[in-house]
Chains A and B, each alone.
Chain A
Amino acid sequence: MQLTHAEQSLQLATPRQVDPGQIERELTALWAGLDDNAGDGATVTRAVMSNLLIYCQGEDEARQAAEHIPELVERHPARVIVLAAIDGMDGELDAWVSAHCRRIHHQEQLCAEHIEVRFAPQSIARAASLIRSLLIGDLPTALWWFHNEPPTFQAKLFDALTSMAQQVIYDSVGWAEPTRGIGSMTRWVTALSPNNGKVAFNLAWRRLKPWRRLIAQALAPIHVPGALTGLQRIHVRHGPHRLPVVWLLCAWLASRLEWRLIDAKSSQERIRWRFRSAQGEVSVEIERDANAKSRIESVECGWNADGSNGHVRFHHAGHLLHVDPDHSTLPAMTVPFRHLPIEELIAAQLAHRANDEVFRQAASMAGEMAASLR
């Protein structure tokens, strides 16, 4: 078994195809081989915090997912099981094993396991039985739905995999049918009982955190009394593929501020909802700008507090989210906005295993907003 030496990392050169029934034995042999070949008196340590199932559709997606694994296990060591559903396969299962290693101290290597299982979609029950046998006990299991389609669109397969996981991570960014997807996924998320130990997270929610931080601070009653309760108008401009993120942002505001949905209208590039707040009607409009970057470009809010109007324009520029003082009645302020690679988002999400009630409420409102467009 050959290790290729890089400055800080070591990686097994190629995954090894193995008999699915012998995966554990092959992993044991792999560890023994790593120890023997580490050389230079080095020691090999296995670190593992979770079982991580990654669901992909097709070989290309499986390859893309595998590219993220070295960075991911560096942040969150895990036994990673990539599950690739391959159309046209016969009923058998194919499996590969490998390990990702990195040098962490002078003579130590830290390694995580990587198993890939390929199966025909109709053989999910067979694949699930193998996966169950591979999960390390006493550790949490998470499912990362890597395939870019709402998981509930493949209900049988999704149910089989979620039955093994305590945490389900999906990403609504880039969904081809956002309205239908949001509606379908929302029903699943909101049906989860907070007490059954299973939690769901949308990576779009995590990406919103800097926006939520800035808006929450800028409109805090301590600085702008009455702004939140007196909100009348919100306008969000975004680039391609970001509609689900923007949608969730608006749903967050509506749910936290306890607005009630009145109705909705949509056109080619715009969606507009009307809500009722304690102080009157609120108009929320989302506008897609095909020429903009794939991100939220700006959020504009207008309010009336005790008879006086105020407004603010938040916008994205470089590594920052700003309050634009030229288009606001608020002073300038900024929060950093780092583009987080997917590995970092996943690792951060894996570390947060508690139910996020704010997300659940926002997701529920997003579902209502989707239903109003039908």
Chain B
Amino acid sequence: MTETDNPLIAGLGGDLIPQPCTVVIFGGAGDLTRRKLLPALYNLALDGVLPAQFAVVAYALDSLDDGAFREFARKGIEKYSRRPLEQEDWAPFAERLYYQQGSFDDDDAIAALKARLHGIEAELGLNGNRMFYFAVPPTFITTCARAISESGLVADPELGTPWTRVVIEKPIGRDLQSARAINDDLQAHLAESQIYRIDHYLGKETVQNILVMRFGNAIFEPLWNAKHIDHVQITVSEAEGVGTRAGYYETAGALRDMVQNHILQLLSLVAMEPPWSMDPDVIRDARLDVLRALRPITPENIDANVVRAQYASGFYQGTDVPGYRRENGVAADSTVETYVALRVFLDNWRWAGVPFYIRTGKALPKRASEIAVHFKSVPHVLFNTDEQHPLEPNVLALRIQPDEGLSLRIASKLPGPRVRIYPVKMDFRYGNTFGDQAPEAYERLLLDVMAGDATLFMRRDAVEASWAWIQPILDAWQSKKARWLPEYPAGTWGPIESERMITDHDRDWRVL
């Protein structure tokens, strides 16, 4: 809805005012719906940013009716919403929630869903704009796409209105070949412009702030290159072990679960060239260029640049943690990595010779995600002449979670007659300054889909470019047929091999 069409819309949030629409959730009785999607929609309703005409239709196998689904939603929102459920706000929201039972591959059930959608839309005066959210296991994605397409639930993408947008959760495939196959299947039923591949990391406020920090401040960008930056560390650490996700994790591992999507997206934002506009495709092109500049990992250099490991038994905050192979649902001889560290280079002008150290793992000492930009040391003159005790270089750390914010380490003179230099940390915390009530990532992302803004979603070419870079690592691991992986005790920062990978180059992992 533009100002030209509707002069009253000016100043009301611009493009973020979505048109009336129906949100149809496939897998509407599942965990993602209960924990994330419904609380996000409820909070959007509280903020008054949902369209005045709006409905949510959940579609799943579970035997529920509208009333039971509303109760399911209420419990989910009570437990997971960032703001408490208030009866007077809940009642009008609940009226817009509907449930339709059926399976994804049952033509009769899909036909019944279609009839129900038409009925609800006629009753509420909705014009057929639909956002389908596939909150389903990856194996059902193409089944769902085929179902909505063949039943005539997908609008012609050329028409503009009514529109159809389809949100798809990661993972898109488990390797390059399967990712391409899924994308081919999706595009047999949907136009690329109708597909929104979600990576909730991109919806986090602090991740979006990376671009603001880089391109909204004059002091950083001139230093943001190989001339001034020694290296970059990206850490996504999880304190929990594999827990109840063993079934999925055994088919994935840390590289697929974290690096292929979240971490490569973070890397893209940190390393991208300045986009020439805020147009979604301009920004996505800039991110894609980073993925295409990644230096390939080959069988010859993989050992020097990639470390994988599994957690062994250990402790987390004083509590026993079993080793990965002893977790429920994990094969006793599993060689799935729960930790991976990489030394990555971008072969472009800006980042020539600057290593990006990436690490992610489960059963590490704490949950933390951070991007740390390590600047080069000052020359060994004036204050940096003691080779035994060189000055600590400046570090700009962007904390994604928890304690979202950024810190800058600088050298400062200690008070006194002598020149004694001490590193001090200037710390900015989002929560302290802006309060602790930042919107959840799903709120922003769902609103973006309704408004048709694909900036924070992954395009097919980006998904496949990241898989194309990951694939040689997977292939090399496959060919090695390792029976054991290096281990690290649960509750520690990873295996010794990971330490060596970075200390061999006179650098250290940051302690988070």
Contact = CB atoms under 8 A, between A and B. Distances in A.
B56 to A, nearest CB: 14
A66 interface: no
A4 B176 CA distance: 60
A213 interface: yes
Contacts of B92: 319-320, 334, 336
A157 B291 CA distance: 59
Interface string B18-59: 011000000000000000000000000110100111000000
A137 interface: no
Contacts of B435: 74-75
Contacts of B431: 104
Nearest to A358: B11
Contacts of B88: 318-319
Contacts of B115: none
A115 interface: no
Contacts of A359: 11
Nearest to A257: B7
B403 to A, nearest CB: 8
B217 interface: no
Dominant SS at the B interface?
loop
Contacts of A104: 431-432, 436
Contacts of B8: 212, 215-216, 219-220, 228, 253, 256-257
A214 B9 CA distance: 10
B6 A222 contact: yes
A320 B54 CA distance: 14
Contact of B432 (A45, A212, A319): A45
Per DSSP, chain A at the interface is mixed
Q: Which of B11, B432, B433, B436 has the most CB of A within 10 A?
A: B11
Contacts of B282: none
Interface stretch (A90-98, A184-192, A288-296, A325-333): A325-333
B305 to A, nearest CB: 38
Given A75-B435, A110-B432, A336-B46, A213 B7 contact: no
Contacts of A318: 88
A311 to B, nearest CB: 16
A293 B374 CA distance: 60
Given A222-B161, A333-B125, A256 B17 contact: no
A319 B6 contact: no
A108 B124 CA distance: 49
A229 to B, nearest CB: 10
Contact of A256 (B10, B125, B127): B10
B433 A210 contact: no
A210 B11 contact: no
A205 B46 CA distance: 19
A336 B47 CA distance: 8
A319 B89 contact: yes
A221 interface: yes
A228 B1 CA distance: 15
Given A49-B433, A110-B432, A217-B51, A332 B19 contact: no
B5 A222 contact: yes
A275 B297 CA distance: 71
B120 to A, nearest CB: 12
A258 to B, nearest CB: 8
A220 B10 contact: no
A223 B45 CA distance: 21
Contacts of B433: 47, 49, 77
Contacts of B48: 209-210, 213, 335-338
A256 B7 contact: yes
B12 interface: yes
Interface of B: 1, 5-12, 17, 19-20, 45-46, 48, 51-53, 88-89, 92, 124-125, 127, 161, 429, 431-433, 435-436
Given A215-B8, A333-B124, 11 more contacts: A45-B432, A209-B12, A212-B12, A214-B52, A217-B17, A217-B20, A222-B127, A332-B125, A336-B48, A336-B89, A338-B46
In the complex, the 7 A-B pairs of residues with the closest C-beta atoms, listed nearest first? A331-B125, A358-B11, A216-B8, A333-B52, A256-B7, A319-B88, A217-B52
25 contacts: A45-B432, A47-B432, A49-B433, A74-B435, A75-B435, A104-B431, A104-B432, A104-B436, A217-B51, A220-B5, A222-B1, A222-B6, A228-B6, A256-B8, A258-B7, A319-B92, A332-B124, A333-B20, A333-B52, A335-B52, A336-B46, A336-B92, A337-B48, A338-B46, A357-B11
